[in-house]
Structure 1
Amino acid sequence: MDRISELSDELLIKILLFVPTKVAVSTSVLSKRWEYLWMWLPKLDYGGRHYSPSDCEMLQCFLDKNLPLHRAPVIESFRLDLSSRNFTTENIKLWVVIAAYHCVRKLEIIYESYPEKPNILPSNLYTCKSLVILKLKGTILLDVPRVAFLPSLKTMHLRSVRYHNDEESLQRLLSNCPVLKDLLVDLCEHDSMGKLTVVVPSLQSLSLYIPYNFDIGGIEIRTPFLKYFKLEDCSDKRHYCLVENMPNLIEADVDVDLHNIKSLIGSITSVKRLSICISSKDMYDEGFVFNQLEHLKICFGEFSSNLLVRLLNDSSNLQVLELHEMDNHCHDDTMVNWNQPSTVPECMLLSLQTLNWSDYSGTPGERDLAVYILKNAVHLKTMKITSFEGEVPKFEMIKELALSSRASTACQLVFHCLY
């Protein structure tokens, strides 16, 4: 220990960054040399999911006493996991105020309180010039003041938080983040919002989640420089979705139950990678072309056959096709029939090389689709099929497909059975 103590303060602080904050604080009892070193730490992580009431009380007393004395001029990262009703809102506000005073760059707060308590975020947080990353999760109320301005904020993740004055606070917050690049908004269950509007010219990544029991009036998105887009809309309330064109989009992940998807589909035609699940009878209109699409994931569903035919016809450069059941599905997943297209899609003749099929159950519709692809995909190199032994016997599945005619003599069939 004496040799370590001879190292410079700067090096010792770097060593302390490799251990949890609680452990770093405990080194203060080693000697006078270590007593205040932890107070220079630029990264602080406090709290935990399994804190007892007494632990919470001790942590609150510790932060009240020591955080105002913290010596680091810049707090690079400040994380609070306060999933307990034992923390008072005024104390939490004070801690965030202090972090902002120390030019905090990354702030993450996880807060759960039952029953819900008032706002825990101080007003000075919304004008913190140093803040680059903001992540909030839980029963946190966003009450954004009119003077809000976050000139350095590039990443913002809002999970299950609530918004004062409905959508007004969220819109005000977004409009005052001039360099925001990464936005994630997971709306809270059993809540409501008149309209979700995202108008952020600088945005490059956008993820939105609307739960099943969320009452929403509509969605409007204007993000012309977006590169990644994810929309999971499970709301059972009928609403509109207006999305302006995203010419720079590279990857999209869409799982929706909307009655009108023309605007949505029209905005994502530039993608190279697309994961899609649409549980509506209404397909998108003809006239859209996915001439950049190389990798397509599509989920099973009552209407997925029609959607797949449309996408195959519109994607002349498709190289990889994946069929599977999407996570967190909002509806049943059954392919009853395969509606064979009247002409062979261009991608089958020119570009398709790989088919990966998960959760293959051997229904007539699925079998017909697999046989159709084998028969028409001229450049197919690999068809990998995964199934559960209880749903389709391995030998029968192999025999059915192995004996089917193939357009590609180089195609390898790979079977994987799960038990």
Structure 2
Amino acid sequence: MEAARSGIEDVTSPDRISQLPNDLLFRILSLIPVSDAMSTSLLSKRWKSVWKMLPTLVYNENSCSNIGSLGFDQFCGRSLQLHEAPLLKTLTLELRKQTDSLDSSIFPNIHSTLLEFSIKSTGYPVYYSTISFPNNLDVFQTLVVLKLQGNICLDVVDSPVCFQSLKSLYLTCVNFENEESFSKLLSACPVLEDLFLQRLCSVGRFLFSISVPSLQRLTYTKEQAYYSNDEAILEITAPSLKHLNIFDRVGVFSFIEDMPKLVEASVRVKLSKNEKLPKVLTSVEHLSLDLYPSMVTSFFSRKLGFVYL
């Protein structure tokens, strides 16, 4: 009798995992694909809404194998509609195939206050996932960090988007529909402080115009490739810049305004294309130049902290 009663109690008592606090359950669910995390809602009433409150969501197209007949972008959009957390700290999309529905299927379905958004596309190099930010959605108003990487084409010429809270922008080997798309994106970031740009090798002339009064840190480099007619030009208007890192031996650089607040710079360029560059760097306290020592001393008359690479 006692054993039978004990056996019943063992069956009906809640499992230990379900008794864990939500913070620990969130950590557990963050280790598995979102599609699997959603399936836990069928376990019990306790689990029904746990995944909907996750503060971090990572959608990886390579690991979402149990989404049925839905396309990856459709699955992302529908699951984001069900997500109920008031604050979404990080949302990551890792794309394997080209898609043109990010603007329509995913962005409008993000209802949480989103702080960091990362999109990475690793599909076939010829095909790009296009992003135009067509609507001035609330989700873009709260973003603090935006990371775009890989086979993504940005076309924001006619977009009314405004990233009014964006502090950090990372653009890694993404494509731009035209020069205006790049400048339009930056003009939509009124409080941007940190910009990382790794450009693709251009075929012909391409102007990167960086005019951001609030910018404090700029890192500019190029992909590990070479084209004989790569003619990238970088124009910089950043009077608040404090830290500058440039590694591009092909590009041409033009500084429209002085940068009196610049304290640290690391520069690897072809000096014959950028003869005015040393004048811009006269106020820096810490300078790293990938030049011959004789070339450095001929341009600077006062003592600076050099590191020859």
**Is TM-score (shorter-chain normalized) higher than 0.5?**
yes
Matched, 1:198 2:210: yes
Residue number among 81, 90, 96 corresponding to 1:68 in the alignment: 81
Preserved CA contact (<8 Å) 2:26 2:51: no
Letter in 1 for 2:194: D
Residue number among 141, 149, 162 corresponding to 2:153 in the alignment: 141
2:90 aligns to what? 77
Preserved CA contact (<8 Å) 2:57 2:92: yes
1:221 aligns to what? 236
Task: Write out per-residue CA displacement over residues 271-294 of structure 1, whole angstroms, 9 at most, x where no aligned residue.
Answer: 22222124xxxxxxxxxxxxxxxx
* Structure 2 unaligned residues grouped into runs of 5+: 1-13
Aligned-residue offset at 1:190: 4.3
Aligned ranges 1:38-49 → 2 under 5 Å: 38-47=51-60
Structure 1: distance between partners of 2:203 and 2:171: 15
Letter in 2 for 1:316: K
Superposed CA RMSD in Å reads 3.2
2:8 aligns to what? none
Matched, 1:104 2:91: no
Preserved CA contact (<8 Å) 2:287 2:307: no
Structure 2: distance between partners of 1:54 and 1:2: 28
Residue number among 80, 83, 89 corresponding to 2:100 in the alignment: 89
1:182 aligns to what? 194
Aligned-residue offset at 1:4: 4.5
Moved more, 203-212 or 184-193: 184-193
Structure 2: distance between partners of 1:5 and 1:62: 27
Letter in 2 for 1:170: F
Matched, 1:234 2:249: yes
Task: Write out per-residue CA displacement over residues 214-269 of structure 1, whole angstroms, 9 at most, x where no aligned residue.
Answer: 6336321111111111112232x7x4633532111121111101424343222222
Aligned-residue offset at 1:122: 4.1
Structure 2 vs 1, CA of residues 258 and 317 (structure 1 numbering), >3 Å: closer, same or farther? closer
Structure 2 vs 1, CA of residues 27 and 192 (structure 1 numbering), >3 Å: closer, same or farther? farther
Letter in 1 for 2:115: R
Q: Secondary structure at the match of 2:244?
A: strand
Structure 1: distance between partners of 2:249 and 2:136: 32
1:363 aligns to what? none
* Structure 1 unaligned residues grouped into runs of 5+: 279-303, 325-419
Aligned-residue offset at 1:146: 4.3
Structure 2 vs 1, CA of residues 52 and 255 (structure 1 numbering), >3 Å: closer, same or farther? same
Structure 2 vs 1, CA of residues 29 and 59 (structure 1 numbering), >3 Å: closer, same or farther? farther
2:295 aligns to what? 307
Aligned ranges 1:189-338 → 2 under 5 Å: 189-210=201-222, 212-213=226-227, 215-216=230-231, 218-235=233-250, 239=252, 241-278=254-291, 304-310=292-298, 314-316=301-303, 318=305, 322-324=307-309
Q: Secondary structure at the match of 2:51?
A: helix
Structure 1: distance between partners of 2:294 and 2:137: 47
Identity of matched residues, %: 32
Aligned ranges 1:349-364 → 2 under 5 Å: none
Preserved CA contact (<8 Å) 2:131 2:155: no
TM-score normalized with structure 2 length: 0.79
Preserved CA contact (<8 Å) 1:13 1:40: no
Structure 2: distance between partners of 1:224 and 1:17: 45
Structure 2 vs 1, CA of residues 80 and 118 (structure 1 numbering), >3 Å: closer, same or farther? closer
Preserved CA contact (<8 Å) 1:184 1:208: yes
Aligned-residue offset at 1:26: 5.7
1:32 aligns to what? 45
Structure 2 vs 1, CA of residues 227 and 126 (structure 1 numbering), >3 Å: closer, same or farther? farther
Aligned-residue offset at 1:131: 1.3
Q: Secondary structure at the match of 1:95?
A: helix
Aligned-residue offset at 1:168: 0.6
Aligned-residue offset at 1:103: 2.9
Structure 1: distance between partners of 2:113 and 2:130: 22
TM-score normalized with structure 1 length: 0.60
Structure 2 vs 1, CA of residues 139 and 317 (structure 1 numbering), >3 Å: closer, same or farther? closer
Structure 2 vs 1, CA of residues 75 and 157 (structure 1 numbering), >3 Å: closer, same or farther? same
Preserved CA contact (<8 Å) 1:204 1:226: yes
Structure 1: distance between partners of 2:237 and 2:119: 28
Preserved CA contact (<8 Å) 2:135 2:159: no
Q: Secondary structure at the match of 1:75?
A: strand
Structure 1: distance between partners of 2:166 and 2:94: 21
Matched, 1:123 2:138: no
Q: Secondary structure at the match of 1:141?
A: strand
Structure 2 vs 1, CA of residues 31 and 56 (structure 1 numbering), >3 Å: closer, same or farther? closer
